[in-house]
Amino acid sequence: MSKNKPSLPQGTRDFDPATVRKRRHIFDTIRTVFELYGYQPLETPAMEQLDTLMGKYGEEGDKLIFKILNNGLGDPKNLEKATFAFQNVLAGKNDPNLTERALRYDLTIPFARYVAMNHGTLTFPFRRYQMQPVWRADRPQKGRYREFYQCDADVVGSYSLINEVELAAIYATAFKKLGIPVDIRVNNRKILAALAEVCGGADKMTDITVAIDKLDKIGLDKVKTELGERGLTDAQVSTIESYLAIDGTNDEKLALVGALFAGNPTGTKGVEELNHILNYPSTPPLTVDLTLARGLNYYTGTIFEVKALDVQMGSIGGGGRYDDLTGTFGVPNIPGVGISFGVDRIYDVMQELQLFPTNVHTGTTILFFNLGEAESRAAFGLLQQLRDRGIPAELYHEQAKFDKQFKYAEKKEIPYIVILGGTELAARQCQLKDLRTGQQSTLDFDQLLTADFI
RNA sequence: GUGGUUGUAGCUCAGUUGGUUAGAGCAUCAGAUUGUGGUUCUGAGGGUCGGGGGUUCGAACCCCCUCAUCCACCCCA
């Protein structure tokens, strides 16, 4: 026997019953909205082939992928192979003789893998949603976990910008239902690409976006410093500065960006796309944020990010358009666009703003007191009939003092208790007590079985 | 991956410059109270002081390592 205290791996959590109920409220809300927009459920395995994941999330992303050690490494006949493989890993390379599987890092790449494997049988455009945990070997901190859930909705096989409008509407609807005030920000990667082109540093796009993404956090001066450190010339930094100076309403910003990139086809296209989305009928309120970049490097068009207002928290959702996601799996020309909800952060935000409904009681409705052998047998019969009616009910597990059974009901916030003792049993009656009001009434068995429990 | 914070009973925390047997509140259990709880009173259980090593006559306290935690960076949901 080990005398070590049990513990959890870093960045993982247990969810107690109360927490699960609250989390379910979030999942149910999001699922309902997904279904409302015609998205269909999909689930994929917790682990993928390492090849499927590597190289899709950038260099930093690769480091954060949880890799799974192969089985059978201890077998003597594998000794040489395994030792050699280990040398490779120590040198910073992956070796399939040591690890060839990994935990999924997000839901988008596994979805792309699924689409690539099944493109012959899918009907396009294919809309799917997926709500499953993902794992990242990040260092945990506020709002950041090593195991967390994502809720994704993607549509593949369509270039139409109506998809973007609908996804924005899904965000707006879901967060409205949850009661979270949010700012939905949009930008377009084509505009960022144009910025890099105009600066003459098309190859510097990643450096530029990473730096300007921090504008509201570290300020203009530090962004300029960082751009310099990333190898951009003063002239290039100056161009970027004039881009960052663009401000005003959505329309004003887009007009200014359009003028700035007047001769640049990519930039013009990006501005057109954003204009189209913003002016489509019933598009929810969006904020054009020209500094929004998003890390995942497969985005090519519209990008989304959702920030909760009134609370200090990273983004609680994000997504965007990718024009050739399945290309790396050998199936070119399938475009797509998708969004993701960060359930764990949404939970933290709702907890902080006290947005969870408190009046909905979803646990046991009735507790039967256990007052003896004959009494509990009778109680059990009634109990089962109430359960057949769909009323959550339970019988105290053993005969005990009233005090104890009352306290149990109180702890579990059970609103009704039924007292069925010797006297009641003889008269085929029972006492029904509402613990919230303290009111108690005597009921025949038939009355109990047909009563309304609110 | 880098830097810092914290770790004492189930929970929240005291614990003096290193000095007998480490405390409190809440919670739990038992009794007062074999059929109507929440109040009150009495009593009890519960800790290798996160883990390992070191310094010392002596460590919850000092040093090193390690694990976990929270925060910042990197990056991200």
What pLDDT, in 10s, does the model give residues A411-442? 788 889 999 988 888 889 999 998 888 888 89
Q: Residue A371's closest CA among A394, A397, A391?
A: A397
Residues A145 and A15 in one domain: yes
Of A7-16, A246-255, A277-286, A331-340, minimum mean pLDDT range: A7-16
Nearest-nucleotide field for A343 (CA, C1'): B77
Closest protein CA to C1' of nucleotide B76, residue: A295
Overall number of domains in chain A? 3
Q: Residue A110's closest CA among A66, A167, A48, A21?
A: A48
Of A249-258, A352-361, A400-409, minimum mean pLDDT range: A352-361
CA of A396 to C1' of B41 (A): 29
Highest mean pLDDT (candidates A56-65, A132-141, A157-166, A433-442): A157-166
Is the predicted pLDDT of residue A171 greater than 90, yes or no? yes
Across chain A, mean pLDDT equals 88
Residues A136 and A257 in one domain: no
For residue A132, say whether its CB is under 7 Å from any atom of strand B.
no
State the Cα–Cα distance between residues A338 and A127, nearest whole angstrom: 9
Q: Of A318, A349, A380, which residue sits at a domain end?
A: A349
Residues A152 and A45 in one domain: yes
CB neighbour burial string for A37-54, b if at least 16 within 10 angstroms, e if fewer: eebeebeeeebbebebbb
For residue A191, name the pLDDT band (cuts at 50, 70, 90): very high
Residues A193 and A158 in one domain: no
Residues A168 and A246 in one domain: no
Q: CB < 7 Å to strand B — which of 376-405 in chain A?
A: 401-404
Model confidence pLDDT, tens digit, residues A243-300: 988 989 999 999 999 999 998 999 999 999 999 999 999 999 999 999 898 876 788 9
For residue A150, say whether its CB is under 7 Å from any atom of strand B.
yes
Residues A228 and A136 in one domain: no
Nearest-nucleotide field for A61 (CA, C1'): B75
Is the predicted pLDDT of residue A42 greater than 90, yes or no? yes
Rounded to an integer, the average pLDDT of A116-144 is 92
For residue A203, name the pLDDT band (cuts at 50, 70, 90): confident
Residues A175 and A233 in one domain: no
Is the predicted pLDDT of residue A358 greater than 80, yes or no? no
- State the Cα torsion A254-A257-A263-A266 to the nearest 10°: -70
Domain around A414: 362-450
Is the predicted pLDDT of residue A167 greater than 90, yes or no? yes
Residues A43 and A164 in one domain: yes
CA of A170 to C1' of B12 (A): 42
Residues A41 and A147 in one domain: yes
Phi/psi region, residue A348 (left: phi>0; alpha: psi -120 to 50; beta: rest), is alpha
User: For chain A, what percent of residues have pLDDT higher than 70?
Assistant: 97
| CATH code, A377 | 3.40.50.800
Residues A52 and A173 in one domain: yes
Nearest-nucleotide field for A438 (CA, C1'): B36
Of A40-54, A94-108, A396-410, minimum mean pLDDT range: A396-410
pLDDT score for A72: 81
Q: Is A437 a member of any domain?
A: yes
Q: Is A92 a member of any domain?
A: no
State the Cα–Cα distance between residues A196 and A210, nearest whole angstrom: 12
Q: Is A132 a member of any domain?
A: yes
CA of A149 to C1' of B48 (A): 39
Residues A56 and A32 in one domain: yes
Parallel/antiparallel/unpaired status of strands A182-188 and A302-308: antiparallel
pLDDT score for A361: 59
Of A44-48, A92-96, A188-192, A384-388, minimum mean pLDDT range: A92-96
CA of A219 to C1' of B35 (A): 72
Q: Is A260 a member of any domain?
A: yes
Provide the ipTM: 0.81
Q: CB < 7 Å to strand B — which of 204-243 in chain A?
A: 210, 214, 217
Q: How far is CA A182 from CA A151, A254, A351, in A?
A: 17, 22, 15
Q: Is A96 a member of any domain?
A: no
pLDDT score for A118: 95
Q: Is A85 a member of any domain?
A: no
For residue A129, name the pLDDT band (cuts at 50, 70, 90): very high
Residues A109 and A128 in one domain: yes
State the Cα–Cα distance between residues A274 and A187, nearest whole angstrom: 7
Structure tokens given for A119: 């493109």
For residue A5, name the pLDDT band (cuts at 50, 70, 90): low
pLDDT score for A256: 93
* Torsion A90-A91-A94-A97 (CA) sign: negative
Instruction: Give the pTM.
Output: 0.87
pLDDT score for A296: 67
Structure tokens given for A152: 């994704």
Rounded to an integer, the average pLDDT of A386-402 is 88
For residue A10, say whether its CB is under 7 Å from any atom of strand B.
yes
Q: Is A343 a member of any domain?
A: yes
Q: Is A84 a member of any domain?
A: no
| CATH code, A22 | 3.30.930.10
